[in-house]
Chain A
Amino acid sequence: MTMSDSAPTMSDSAPSSERPSAPPRSWLSRLMKSGALIDLAGLAIVLLAIVAVFSWLSPRFFSQATLATIMNQIPALTILATGMTIVLISGGIDLSVGSLVAFSSAALGIVMAKYNQPLWLAIPAAIAAGSLFGLINGSVTVFGRIPSFIVTLGTLQIARGCAYLATSKSTIYLNRSVQVLTDRIAGIGLSPAAVSAMLIVVLGQLLLTRTVFGRYCVAIGTNESAVRMSGVDTRWTRIFVFVLCGALAGMAGVIESSRLSAVDPNGAAGRELQAIAAAVIGGTSLMGGRGSVIATLFGVLIMAVLESGLGQVGAQEEIKNLVTGSAIVVAVLFDSWRHRGTRRTS
């Protein structure tokens, strides 16, 4: 270090009141101060409020069956939205994840049905299929200097096309044994899929907050040129973010196939928009630099509860669209109101 022995400078003569006391030491007090807890508490309150409303509207809502439906639906979306959150935070977007789910589950289906290989061999194949497209997304975005929006808009079509080619456009039915992933484990009431989704959320959050890679993601999303001019090779970080998102889409594809015990090349269409919506409801900024995977999980839960709750009270499809759409806009309005003071205009 080159600066330890420098003399005190003039600006040190500033009033001592402006000098900091010791910074908050415990992670809890830091969390309290950062406002992240308030955001999470807000999301939890909204979620509870929605649950309360539906319980009041429909006495059957608060039941094992509903819970099971929700738990069944969310693991795949949670995993997708986790990847999406990391991409968004680093300043990109991945519109291809819905198609990647279909393509990677096609890969899974081919390995299992055509080559008669066991599930544990098919899962890596599916994840590799997703990662491959992630690598394409990232490399073209970075080396071609094209917005990821455009690149992934293209791969959205390409991956869907690949899924059709691989399956000859027809559904592949799988051995019922694949359902082991989405069947609840006796004793804990959660499926392996749900457990791995929770694990991925926790790992994703730790990745963002505690690793150099994660901090680079946030920094790149805030100001890429500043990071580049600080001697960080932003290219590999940005590419790897897409590979990660693709790999997670592959896992989501595995879970979807397991849930249906089939591979549907038409499946998961539009799922990328749900993933983006979940991240945005959780407070992730589409401009990059801000967001949290835990908050995204709340976003997923809010969307899932709305969806199944509206189904329970007998709402038609059009009402579902109206309510879910409004929820997204209201969430973002509220979020921008919460953060209105953080950036000074001067």
Chain B
Amino acid sequence: MLRTEGISKKFAAPVLRGIELNVNQGEVHALLGANGAGKSTLCRIISGLLWADSGRMFLDGKEFTSTTRQDAEQRGIQIVQQELNLLPTLTVAENMFLDRMPCRFGWIDRRELNRRAQAAMDALNLSQIDVRTQVSELGVGQRQLVEIAGALSRSCRLLILDEPTAALTATETERLFEQLRRLKSEGTGVIYISHRLEEIRQIADRISVLRDGRLITTQPVDELSTDEIVSLMTGAEPEVVEGVSGNTHGAGTGSSSVSERKLKGTALRVSGLSVEGRLTDVNFTLYEGERLGVAGLVGAGRTEMLRALFGDLRTDGGMIRVGDGIDRQPFEYPRDAVRAGFAMVTEDRKADGLMLSMSIRENTVLPVRRKLAWHGTLVRRRSEVAVTEAMRDSLGVISQSVEQPVDELSGGNQQKVILGKWLLTAPRILLLDEPTRGIDVPARMTILKQLNQLAERGTAILMVSSDLDELMQFCDRILVLSVGKISGDFRRDAWTKELLMQACFRGHVGLSGGSQ
């Protein structure tokens, strides 16, 4: 159905080199590759968001050029991008129909607009999202679903999904897959980008692997083992890729469980932590060297919990105790938390993780700038460069120089920079919000390996992730949050995926009764 011939694109360096891609009617075609391999660029070219330098594209045998996104949309090519593109101050319905508002006598017909939007949401089994709510009130996962519903509400010959499940919970993902299967049966082609290989096994028919801007292979998904896929993506022999055997989340080395190591002492005790409307009476203890996971559905209050502990959200009650200290009010400002030995990797790199237009060095040294400076005032460039280069080398950040702006790096490398900046502060307690979201397998392994090393040296790790498999792989213990309360606390030997899922849904009306 879709065919591309010799698509090439250069930014500073070649990003795509002669891509020949074939997507059949009614198939889900997975596009795989490390971050920076060119997947997103290719999809943006197909959907008219970027122009190729050379090459041709055919839809149903007819050559076409997408000069604008509208152009591509009219041909039935819909894309849902990795970054969310909704306008936060408009309602869900307005966002979905922004370019085709139903009008009567030149005025927007709100009733019709909301009816159409609700119908589109119902088709995705998303009736619980009111299309009249402002997008700013929705969580990241729900926004993602709104975008997908918006794309599906258009005539759709070819649907491109770039990391659609990165922010979705397991149930939401399953709902999305139901829709994809329906689209497939209707003959729509789907290009599906994801780093979650088990998902791809579930939904995809064929996969294409991109590496360094080249299409390495296209094969039916059943013909490849996970090890083979990983080695195709990285270009390494399977046996060289240590720690990835039979799973994609291999945390590399050092997964010695916490019971084998000695738990030294309490790193953080939280009692009665509450944030109005978000968190109610959260109690837990985090030990030095412990890898504590936090699971829960989108909107369960996981991000809010981390932010409240880091002094970014105002709390409405509760005490914390750091190390051997005394009980105290939660921090009022992130700086106070950092001074007490906290560090936090935020969920959204672009919003509050990085200064995108500034260099790797400027981003890396930010928390320790004063310490590196002469008498805390004058910047000592040489020590900053040295520290940044050490970070870059130990985390394997691929860049031309430490003066390169971080927005030129791939997502995985950006995430390494954020982690690296906190390593410089030698944190006692590290809070992580979806640290591996949207990151390729090698970068994810590097990051998890670093986290393991930190834990072994006694840093307490509190990690939120929507990926249960990842949590089960990495953590010593998992807390489950549901509707702002802790609904489960499982040790490594006590959990099963089913138990964790049940705890995630506990407290949701009509889903699991009597377990409160």
Contact = CB atoms under 8 A, between A and B. Distances in A.
A and B co-occur in one complex = yes
A229 B401 contact: no
B445 A10 contact: yes
Given A3-B391, A223-B355, A344-B408, A231 B402 contact: no
Interface string A8-24: 11111111001111011
Interface string A193-216: 000000000000000011111011
A231 B335 contact: yes
Contacts of B408: 344
B312 interface: yes
B378 A3 contact: no
Given A14-B398, A213-B377, A231-B339, A225 B352 contact: yes
Contacts of A6: 394-395, 449-450, 453
Given A211-B377, A212-B377, A230 B366 contact: yes
Contacts of B354: 223, 226
A3 B334 contact: no
B241 A231 contact: no
A226 B357 contact: no
A49 B320 CA distance: 65
Interface stretch (B54-62, B115-123, B271-279, B417-425): B417-425
A1 interface: yes
Contacts of A19: 398
The size bracket of the interface on A is 35 or more
Given A215-B369, A226-B353, A226-B354, A20 B401 contact: yes
Interface residues of B, number: 75
A8 B367 contact: no
A212 B373 contact: yes
A345 B85 CA distance: 13
B239 to A, nearest CB: 13
Nearest to B365: A215
A212 B370 CA distance: 7
A10 B396 contact: yes
Given A13-B234, A212-B373, A343 B390 contact: no
A3 B355 contact: no
Question: Chain A contact residues: over half helix, strand or loop, or mixed?
Answer: loop
Interface in B1-28: 11
B352 A223 contact: yes
A17 to B, nearest CB: 9
B134 interface: no
A233 B377 CA distance: 15
Contacts of B425: 231
A4 interface: yes
A222 B358 CA distance: 8
B335 A232 contact: yes
A342 B357 CA distance: 8
Contact of A212 (B355, B379, B396): B379
A227 interface: yes
B41 A346 contact: yes
Nearest to A218: B358
B357 A222 contact: yes
Interface string B366-395: 110110010011110000010100110011
Contacts of A343: 356-357, 407
Interface in B446-461: 446, 449-450, 453-454, 457
Nearest to A3: B394
Contact of A2 (B357, B366, B454): B454
A289 interface: yes
Interface in A262-315: 289-290
A226 B44 contact: no
Contact of A3 (B343, B390, B443): B390
B462 to A, nearest CB: 16
B46 to A, nearest CB: 14
Contact of B234 (A10, A209, A216): A10
Interface in A1-49: 1-4, 6, 8-15, 18-21, 23-24, 30, 33
A80 B470 CA distance: 55
A129 interface: no
B125 interface: no
A344 B385 contact: no
Nearest to A206: B378
A219 interface: yes
B334 A228 contact: yes
Contacts of A233: 333, 335
B407 A344 contact: yes
Contacts of A222: 355-358
Contacts of B355: 219, 222-223, 226-227, 289
A12 B339 CA distance: 33
Contacts of B387: 1
A2 B445 CA distance: 18
B379 A11 contact: no
A6 B454 CA distance: 10
Given A11-B396, A20-B402, 13 more contacts: A4-B394, A6-B449, A6-B453, A18-B400, A23-B401, A212-B378, A219-B366, A226-B352, A230-B338, A231-B334, A231-B338, A231-B343, A290-B357
21 contacts: A1-B424, A2-B423, A2-B424, A2-B426, A4-B390, A9-B395, A9-B446, A10-B396, A11-B443, A18-B398, A18-B399, A24-B403, A211-B377, A215-B379, A219-B362, A222-B357, A226-B366, A227-B366, A230-B367, A232-B369, A233-B333
User: 8 closest Cβ contacts across the A-B interface?
Assistant: A231-B338, A225-B352, A11-B396, A9-B396, A222-B355, A3-B394, A9-B446, A10-B442
